[in-house]
Chain A
Amino acid sequence: MWRWLIPLSVVPVLGLLAYGFRVNPHDIPSPLVGRPAAPFVLRTFDGTDVSLASLRGRVVVLNFWASWCYPACYEEAPALERSWRAYRDREVSVVGVAIQDQPDAARKFIADFSLSFPNAPDPDGKVSVEYGVYGVPETFFIDRAGRIRLKQTGAVSDDLFRGEVETLLGEPA
């Protein structure tokens, strides 16, 4: 009677492994959502400085990318540029951070997609770590009060951008 427990005990193990198909081991939920976004000061490729503090009161979309990140970064760059142009007069800022990249390749990427929002390299990786970045692309939607409200791993689409930014714009500073 108890002997049949042996083949039966295989079933929960199989179940657990099957569960594995539904989850992506590379998709790590961020503990930073809902917490205040870490301050940063970065020097853009143009030579100007951009800081999170100076953007307080605006909705900030912080996007981490790399020129070697194909195809996702290449898909979202035009979407980001479009969205930036649509929202730049409505108290929304887009900031791009090029991580683990070569300066020339990053500049070429910016030129290829005619990105007009500020882009800066992260020389010692400190900003990446401050935001818990482990891959590219990753995008953080920060509300007017300076809190991270959403982290998107993977390419950002026009719809996602619009949906999230409209929600955050509707909130008071």
Chain B
Amino acid sequence: MIPELGQGALVVGIVLAGYGAIAAAVGAQTGRPALIESAQRAALAVFALVTACFLLLAYAFLTFDFSVRYVAQQTTLSTPFYYRVTAVWGALEGSILLWAWMLGLYTLIVVLRHRGERDLYPWALSVMLGIIAFFLLVMTLPAPPFERLTPVPADGRGLNPLLEDTGMITHPVALYLGFTGFTVPFAFAMAALVTGRVGDAWITTTRRWTIVAWYFLSLGLLIGGWWSYHVLGWGGYWAWDPVENAAFMPWLTGTALLHSAMIQERRRMLKLWNISLVILTFGLTIFGTFLTRSGVIASVHAFSQGSIGAFFLAFLGLVLLVAFGGLAWRWDLLTAQGELDSILSRESAFLLNNVFLVAAAFTVFFGTVFPLLSEAIRGVKVSVGAPFFNQVNVPLFLSLIFLMGVGPLIAWRRASIDNLTRNFLGPVAIGLVAAAVLHLVGVRSTLAVLTLALALFAAATIALDVLRGTRARLRAGVGLARAVTGLFLRHNRRYGGFVIHLGILLVALGVTGSQAWSVQTEATLTRGQAVEVAGYRFRFEGLSAAQESTHARVVGTFTVSRGGGAPIVMRPSKKFYRQEQAPIAGVDYRMGLTEDLYLVLGDFARDGSAATVKVLVNRLVSWIWIGGLVLTLGALLAIVPDDRLA
């Protein structure tokens, strides 16, 4: 009964969304507000229906309705409440439902904010409803969440144990909010192309949307890294897996868009480029869901099969062909003669920023599809993995760090020599001094020295700007605290951006430290035996077995001491799940500002007398997460509406 209701709601949703898309378009074309309002009501109804679907599916999960195949696949009678909720979006069908629901939510917000507007809004509404209709269609045909299972099993299969983690609440939600968020700028860009109003309206309307989507995407990526580090048991946070890349590419082009949009706002240039970037970014989000769901490229995330890949490929093709076709159609409107005063200017810095970001996105894209290309052309399967991506992306990211230092302080239009020396002499000196100090202290890795020196240079430019601004306010007789906060709030976009930059620099610090200075070793220890790594002594005390509701667990106890300090106890484990053929590693770790201790239990002896353990001492990894927090603060600051502030 409930599942049929849900499926029925989806079908009604498709019809309404399709109707709304057409009505809004016709209404916009023929100038009939009544049709547009009807489309608005359809949008509200669609949101209500998709929400109902979501609640119905959640209800099926909470009541152990194993007659629904999706529920039987994801949970067992012993799955705890918490995971029963997150299991709703734990696999293919539910994830599409989540995506569709977020699209509905964003459409609702667009309706509430822009209703009554006449130029772009109706067309944007039409595009968004059309996209929702597609996702609902996917849920009806290849991936129905409410599909019945006969005969009804007595118990379910159970959630993939790797997903039994708090990351399951936050990672997909944040990531999807980011992905779907880019639909809004895309819709408005399409509206601009259709109406020919390719001026600034569409970009100023969507500025805040772009930041919000970008922020959630950043958050999703960072949480994914956190989850990989703490759950997957290999001691790393990023593997350049194809699906990780699929989320990274729109992030790169989205970052490029954030910056080049600023040029359009101020100089009315780069319209063609900005629309292309929006189309590209949205296209990459669809490409991302295609990769995750089609099984075309082997990946740790791929959780699909069947005809769904064809659906997404067709949709991707349709979107790109229509969007870029529209771009070609409106070409003349978009290319205007730009004017720059000087090559040495912030505009140039932003252009360079775009070059490196888009080059990085292209590199990641080409590397990701290259195995397919190699097979198609040569008939030989090759792998393109972490060693490749790390090597080729490093120079690109270093250039970007350098530009992060240059961009914010170099003048718009024309940077005079005076401007350059005033702003950059100090930070450049600091960077050089840092490099020298690091070298003297004994840092051997040139890459680490270079990265840290550049990061310090960029941080110094930010600090210099804050210092100058604060000093100017202090001179006006304001107290220090008020000066700083006033500065930040008055120019919240600028300083929000700076704080975000700072967050990125901290992430760079964490990445550099962990890549350059982490140590690991693997050892087989008998009871009482110890291994020394990086000044820590890890002694194997013994094994014990425990039983949880969904799995059996073997835990290794290790005493860790350093010098004369108090010992701590760490308990890495191996978890044996009924439905999984290989045991899942349960990592134990201790996080610190400079070092993380990380233990992975390997093989163990029959009688518990010996165990193999992988010991990692990772350096500076915590700064990646700290950088993420700082990034969050910066993004919050940047999107506060200007009119609300002093």
Contact residues of A with B, CB < 8 Å? 3-4, 6-7, 10-11, 13-14, 16-21, 23, 25-26, 28-29, 66, 68-70, 100
- The reply on B163 being an interface residue by CB < 8 A is no
- Whether the Cβ atoms of B381 and A21 lie closer than 8 Å is no
- The reply on B581 being an interface residue by CB < 8 A is yes
- The reply on B298 being an interface residue by CB < 8 A is yes
Given A17-B290, A18-B313, A25-B296: A10 touches B369 (CB 8 Å cut-off)? no
Per-position contact with A for B320-334: 1 when CB-CB < 8 Å, else 0? 110011011001000
Per-position contact with A for B374-410: 1 when CB-CB < 8 Å, else 0? 0110000100000000000000000000000000000
Q: Which of A7, A17, A28, A29 sits near B372, CB closer than 8 Å? A: A17
Residues of chain A within 8 A (CB-CB) of B581 are 66, 68-70
- Minimal Cβ-Cβ distance residue in B for A100: B582
- Whether the Cβ atoms of A17 and B296 lie closer than 8 Å is yes
Per-position contact with A for B585-598: 1 when CB-CB < 8 Å, else 0? 00000000000000
A70 to B578, CA, bound (A): 13
Q: Which of B325, B328, B331, B376 sits near A19, CB closer than 8 Å? A: B376
Given A7-B320, A7-B328: A20 touches B372 (CB 8 Å cut-off)? yes
- Minimal Cβ-Cβ distance residue in A for B291: A17
- The reply on B310 being an interface residue by CB < 8 A is yes
Given A6-B327, A14-B313: A23 touches B375 (CB 8 Å cut-off)? yes
Taking the closest CB of chain B, its distance from the CB of A9, in whole angstroms, is 8
- The reply on B80 being an interface residue by CB < 8 A is no
A165 to B2, CA, bound (A): 55
Q: Which of A10, A23, A69, A70 sits near B320, CB closer than 8 Å? A: A10
Residues of chain A within 8 A (CB-CB) of B296 are 17, 20-21, 25
- The reply on B309 being an interface residue by CB < 8 A is yes
A97 to B371, CA, bound (A): 31
A104 to B297, CA, bound (A): 36
A4 to B326, CA, bound (A): 10
- Whether the Cβ atoms of A10 and B324 lie closer than 8 Å is yes
- Minimal Cβ-Cβ distance residue in A for B312: A17
Residues of chain A within 8 A (CB-CB) of B324 are 6-7, 10
A23 to B294, CA, bound (A): 12
Could you show 12 A-B contacts with beta carbons less than 8 Å apart? Answer: A3-B331, A6-B328, A7-B320, A10-B317, A14-B317, A16-B376, A17-B296, A19-B372, A21-B296, A25-B297, A25-B298, A70-B581
Extra 20 A-B pairs, beta carbons < 8 Å, given A6-B324, A16-B373: A3-B327, A4-B325, A6-B276, A7-B320, A7-B324, A7-B328, A10-B317, A14-B313, A14-B317, A17-B296, A18-B313, A19-B376, A20-B294, A21-B310, A21-B313, A23-B375, A25-B297, A25-B381, A29-B381, A70-B581
Taking the closest CB of chain A, its distance from the CB of B370, in whole angstroms, is 10
Q: Which of A28, A68, A69 sits near B381, CB closer than 8 Å? A: A28
Taking the closest CB of chain B, its distance from the CB of A151, in whole angstroms, is 14
Residues of chain B within 8 A (CB-CB) of A3 are 327-328, 331
Given A3-B328, A68-B581: A20 touches B297 (CB 8 Å cut-off)? yes
Residues of chain B within 8 A (CB-CB) of A68 are 581-582
Per-position contact with A for B552-588: 1 when CB-CB < 8 Å, else 0? 0000000000000000000000000000011000000
Taking the closest CB of chain A, its distance from the CB of B279, in whole angstroms, is 10
Q: Which of A11, A17, A25, A66 sits near B371, CB closer than 8 Å? A: A25
A111 to B327, CA, bound (A): 67
Taking the closest CB of chain B, its distance from the CB of A17, in whole angstroms, is 6
- Whether the Cβ atoms of B313 and A4 lie closer than 8 Å is no
Quick one: which of B276, B296, B298, B325 has the most chain A CB within 10 A? B296
Taking the closest CB of chain B, its distance from the CB of A116, in whole angstroms, is 26
Residues of chain B within 8 A (CB-CB) of A66 are 581
A70 to B316, CA, bound (A): 35
Taking the closest CB of chain A, its distance from the CB of B576, in whole angstroms, is 11
- The reply on B602 being an interface residue by CB < 8 A is no
Residues of chain A within 8 A (CB-CB) of B369 are 13, 16-17
Name the 4 nearest CB pairs between A and B, nearest first: A20-B296, A68-B581, A7-B324, A25-B298
A26 to B297, CA, bound (A): 9
- The reply on B542 being an interface residue by CB < 8 A is no
- The reply on B130 being an interface residue by CB < 8 A is no
A146 to B324, CA, bound (A): 58
- Minimal Cβ-Cβ distance residue in B for A10: B320
Per-position contact with A for B339-380: 1 when CB-CB < 8 Å, else 0? 000000000000000000000000000000101110110000
Taking the closest CB of chain A, its distance from the CB of B324, in whole angstroms, is 4
Residues of chain B within 8 A (CB-CB) of A26 are 298
Residues of chain A within 8 A (CB-CB) of B310 are 21
Taking the closest CB of chain A, its distance from the CB of B377, in whole angstroms, is 10
- The reply on B469 being an interface residue by CB < 8 A is no
A53 to B207, CA, bound (A): 72
Taking the closest CB of chain B, its distance from the CB of A14, in whole angstroms, is 5
Residues of chain A within 8 A (CB-CB) of B320 are 7, 10, 14
- Minimal Cβ-Cβ distance residue in A for B376: A19
A149 to B392, CA, bound (A): 40
Residues of chain B within 8 A (CB-CB) of A28 are 381
Taking the closest CB of chain A, its distance from the CB of B353, in whole angstroms, is 22
- Whether the Cβ atoms of B376 and A7 lie closer than 8 Å is no
- The reply on B199 being an interface residue by CB < 8 A is no
Taking the closest CB of chain B, its distance from the CB of A164, in whole angstroms, is 23
Residues of chain B within 8 A (CB-CB) of A16 are 369, 372-373, 376
Taking the closest CB of chain B, its distance from the CB of A103, in whole angstroms, is 10
Residues of chain A within 8 A (CB-CB) of B236 are none
Taking the closest CB of chain B, its distance from the CB of A135, in whole angstroms, is 12
- The reply on B142 being an interface residue by CB < 8 A is no
A21 to B293, CA, bound (A): 12
- Minimal Cβ-Cβ distance residue in A for B379: A29
- Minimal Cβ-Cβ distance residue in A for B322: A7
Given A14-B316, A17-B369, A68-B581: A7 touches B325 (CB 8 Å cut-off)? yes
A4 to B298, CA, bound (A): 33
